[in-house]
Structure formats: C-alpha cells, structure tokens
Amino acid sequence: MTINQPILPDVVSLSSFPNGGRAAIVGARGGIGAAITRLVDETHRFAEVIELSRYGDPPLDITSPSSIESAVDHLAGDVRPMRLVMVTTGILHDHGLQPEKSWREIDVHKMARSFAINAIGPALLMKHFLPLMPLKGKSVFAVLSARVGSIGDNRLGGWYSYRASKAALNQLVRTAAIELARTRPEAVCVALHPGTVATPLSAPFAKTQPQIQSAELAASRLLAVIDGLDASRTGGFFDHLGKPVEW
C-alpha cells in the first residue's frame, strides 16, 4: 500500500479558539484519533486535552449509553468550558462484519451494530456533550463521517449498513446544529470526511483508492478545516480539504 504523503499543512494553531477551556477526543487511541489528540495538545490552545476511549480514564464505550453518560458526568464538574469535542470512532468492518456487496447480504444484527457505533453512539455523545459547550465564544463539536454516507454522491451502491449509518449520522449532526444555534450562536456542529487514511478501518479497501493519507496528514488537514469554520458553517458536511460534500 502506497501512502500519498504531500507536505504537511502549516502547523495547526487552532487560533480561532479562545485560549483555555478543554478539548475532548473520543476514540483517542485509534489511528486518526491519536494523531488528532497529539496535534491538538501541541497547539497549547487548551488548558486540557482529554483522551476518551474504552481503556481511558474515565472509560467511554461508544456502544454503552451508561458508559457515555458516566464519562461525561465525570467531566461536567469542571468549570472550564468544553471548547472542542471530536468524535473519531466508527466501524466499517471487523471479524464478523464486512460491507455488503448486495442486498442479499443484509443482516439485521450486523446492520444494528453499524448503526450503534456510527450513528447512535455519536447521537448520545451529542446529548451529553453539547450542553457543556460554552454560551459564548467559538466551540466545535465535530464527528468523522464518510463521503459514502452522501446520498447524492452514491453511484456505486453496496455497503448498505455503512452508507446508511453514516447518512443517519449526517442527519443527526444537521439536526443538532439547528438546536445548538438557539442557545450557542457561535458554536459549530459539523460532519467531516477524512479521506482515505492508512488505518486498520480502510486497509482492506485502500488498494482501490488513488490517494491514501497518513493519519498525521489527515489529522492536520481536519484540524485546519475546523480552525477555519465559523458559526455560518454549522450543520455542514465537509471533506478534509474544507470542501462541502453533498448530502
């Protein structure tokens, strides 16, 4: 597998955020999540960068509502505002789950697992994290979606569960952004497409993709996009270069 590795963007400063506050990365031990965590920490923009995962402290399991609620409750007592939340979790395949090539392969249990991780878990994170966002000043809640979740861009078919769960995630982001803007007019709630990244999630399918990024490059690009967003772009769906993706 050849990784397309152009020169990294300028060092990400996240200068559009007020100094201080906290940042939380959900899925901080994954490929992209770990790279994002390191880059956010290196900006020194936030007083604390919180790494959340099943093995973190506090532990957070995206498939467990009680785990999500407990982890966020643990963080809620801090008076420092939650300025940035990035959700980098997701599933395309595992030992018992593969993208469907045909409707004949649709399985209720496998589809439910895709929705639990790709849509329901992030929705519960919205439920518990969005109230922690400050009433004033820039804050961002961003989730990693996928271009294959775009209905308008679907020209190949297949991958029913992954496509549908990511499309559901996009709708959840759009809906949450509308509600968030009523009380936090400077907040941004967006879905981001990271591109094809050299991680275990995309490894079995990367050979068909012309451009493969390292996790570090993808993280740098995603954070540069976030740094350039303001409240006028909330509820949007953008790729790793900041270009809008059709719904």
pLDDT band at 212 (very low <50, low <70, confident <90, very high): confident
For the entire predicted model, the pTM comes to 0.91
At the second CATH level, the architecture of 22-207+227-239 is: 3-Layer(aba) Sandwich (3.40)
What is the per-residue pLDDT across 111-148, written as a single tens digit (0 to 9) for each? Answer: 999 999 999 999 999 999 999 999 999 999 999 999 99
| Mean pLDDT for the stretch of residues 86-105 | 92
CB atoms within 10 A of CB 36: 31
**pLDDT over 80 (residue 206):** no
Residue 4's pLDDT band (cuts 50, 70, 90) = very low
Q: What is the mean pLDDT of residues 222-230?
A: 97
CB 173 within 8 A of CB 190: yes
CA distance 62 to 67: 8
Widest distance between CA atoms in the chain: 52
The type of residue at 231 is A
Where are any strands of DSSP class E within 88-173?
139-144
